[in-house]
Amino acid sequence: MERLRGSPVTLVLFGINLALFITEEIFRLFFESSLFPILALSREGLMEGGWWQLLTHAFLHGNLFHLMVNMVALWFTGPILEEILGGCRYLLLYLGGAVIGGVLQTFVSSGSIDLVGASGAVCALLVGFGTLLPRLQITALIFFVIPVRMKAATLSWIVVITSFLFWLFGIEKGIGHLAHLGGGIAGFLICFTYRKLGMVRGLPELPPPIP
């Protein structure tokens, strides 16, 4: 929790994601119901006026592993970005990635599914990190096990390119690759704009390895 003491926005994002996951599990186990029909993002939901789904889908997760992967990425990138951007601009980056990623996945992919997960927002953070600190050397943990040294910009390219290729060739179709891609693109555009407008603070202390 030490990393989060100076990062109130990141702490709140953690709290919302965890609270909704627990609430969803309670609904499923005790009420045989779900938050997904109301809060998950779908074409039908938007057409019926459920505009809030553009944001709420990014705080729901399908299972514990799904939640853990996104929260680990948030843990390692969030505090650094919140420090150099400030709370408001950091939150805009997170939510912008969620919305753009959700829209791209929902309206470009074939078929209509209920989209959930913070992956679009998290990919915006990962790519934004590389956009703001491109030469920073990091240790990325591939599959959470294999340490690989690389520049932050390289991690950004990996996120964008693999998301596109996985979508293009239909690899792991149950995953929202277009949400990842849209979030990454949003992260680049938002942070590129921040940098051009001089809205980025000085580089903090060297961050820990990023998974």
Instruction: Show which residues are catalytic.
Output: 119, 180
Residues 98, 56: Cα–Cα separation, whole Å: 9
Helix (H) or strand (E) holding 140: strand 137-142
Query: What's the token pair of residue 122?
Result: 């998290």
Q: Which residues contact residue 57 at a Cβ distance below 8 angstroms, ignoring those fewer than 6 apart?
A: 39, 40, 41, 98, 102, 114, 115, 116, 117
Cβ–Cβ contacts within 10 Å for residue 56, how many?
A: 21
